[in-house]
Amino acid sequence: MNPPLIAVEGTYEEMGAELGRRTSDLVERSTETYLRRFRDQAGLSAKDVLRWGATYLDVARQYDARIAAMLEGLAAGAGRPVEHITALNARTEMLYGTGYRDEGCTSVAVLPKHTASGHTLLAQNWDWHPEQGPVTFLLATRDTEGFSVLTLAEAGMLAKSGLNSAGLGVCANLLVSDRDTGGAGVPYHYLLRGVLQSRTMSEAHRKALDVRRISSGNLLIADAGGEAIDLEVAPDVFGAMLPQDGLITHSNHFQCPLPLVDRKAATSALTLLRPARARHLLEDAAAARTLDLADIVAALRDHYSYPDGICRHVNPDVVKGDEVASVYSVLMDLDLRELYIAAAPPCERPYEHWRLDDVFAPGARPETRFHAGEHHA
């Protein structure tokens, strides 16, 4: 089942409150899961969580007042302490050093000179625990100035991969390095929302780079202006990759020569080959300048090295509770401000097609595209 759409409008506090009210049951489930992880895996007491949550609320206020207002509204609407909501948004940082590992992904950006439509395309598979799918949804926000965002989001959180009305989009990939620490700083999921609140590429760069970071992560950013850049960020350092032959592909290891030790490359399933595999599947169409949405869907459904390829399936040999699969597959046309999404497994599901301009209409429903059956071994 594809994720439901939650569309909210108003001030940032009003949008957060409406989001909290409409997802309160999901927020409760997600918060309870992570409070248990904080206790059992990180040894954090209830008082510890509240203390760190207060720290990340202060960080949000300093980083972006709009994000802070949404988080405070969300907490009020869901009937949860705001410190629990901000701790949830800093879950990776809260669980630093526990062996906890966030989601993996394979991401792709294509420049318009290499697409059949002349549009900038951005896409990814989000690999994570399958049980997280039911507490994930599409979040659409439109503020009082008409600026809107459409993003995948887990309950209690504000962003993952998505696009905005300025034609800017972002995809997320987990990275882990020896520079990662706990403590005060801007959490990775704040960075994602900060990028989506940006109206220009330069503003997005500042939101990702000109801040104190305490964890590693990857942000593949592209826009309708026809450019794309990949930012590999870690505490105190960052790297940037530009398109080669019209393409950027990325997964869960550092590709820039940064002064750090990569702690994910050896353990994330096939991360060292997934970017190359995606490029191999797309480069001929990109070179011919005929690459279209169907080509990217075929790449996202690819089963090379099954079950751990781009289209990732549950490995039956993995311990129960640790299973990972491609929970959602997301494809964006940034010129048209359109997003396509398929649930797990994307090789067997159609993609639902949403137009950003339409998601706020009462009773908005998606069209269905790219039906199942196009398997690529």
pLDDT tens digits, one per residue of 292-323: 999 999 999 999 999 999 999 999 888 887 78
Q: Is 213 helix (H, G, I), strand (E, B) or coil?
A: strand
Whole-angstrom distance, CA of residue 22 vs CA of residue 44? 29
Residue by residue, DSSP assigns 45-61 as -HHHHHHHHHHHHHHHH
What are the phi and psi torsion angles at 295 (to 5°)? -65, -40
Exposed (0-12), middle (13-18) or buried (19+): which is 316, by Cβ within 10 Å? exposed
What's residue 4's pLDDT? 95
Whole-angstrom distance, CA of residue 176 vs CA of residue 303? 25
Based on DSSP, count helices (H) and strands (E) in the chain, helices before strands: 10, 15
Radius of gyration (C-alpha) of the chain in whole angstroms: 19
Whole-angstrom distance, CA of residue 333 vs CA of residue 318? 35
pTM of the model: 0.96
Whole-angstrom distance, CA of residue 5 vs CA of residue 117? 27
In this structure, are residues 113 and 245 in contact, taking their beta carbons and an 8 Å threshold? no
Length of the chain, please? Answer: 377
Q: Is 122 helix (H, G, I), strand (E, B) or coil?
A: strand
What's residue 99's pLDDT? 61
What's residue 132's pLDDT? 79
What are the phi and psi torsion angles at 137 (to 5°)? -150, 170
Whole-angstrom distance, CA of residue 296 vs CA of residue 316? 27
Candidates 328, 153, 42, 319; CA nearest to 34 is 42
Q: Give the tens place of pLDDT for each residue, 47-63.
A: 999 999 999 999 999 99
What's residue 103's pLDDT? 59
Cis status, amide bond into 307, omega within 30 of 0:
yes
Q: Give the tens place of pLDDT for each residue, 271-291.
A: 999 999 999 999 999 999 999
What's residue 296's pLDDT? 98
Whole-angstrom distance, CA of residue 291 vs CA of residue 274? 19
Query: Which residue positions in the chain have pLDDT lower than 50?
Result: 102, 374-377
In this structure, are residues 133 and 345 in contact, taking their beta carbons and an 8 Å threshold? no
What's residue 73's pLDDT? 98
Whole-angstrom distance, CA of residue 230 vs CA of residue 180? 19
CA count, 13 A, side-chain hemisphere, 164: 26
What are the phi and psi torsion angles at 13 (to 5°)? -70, -40
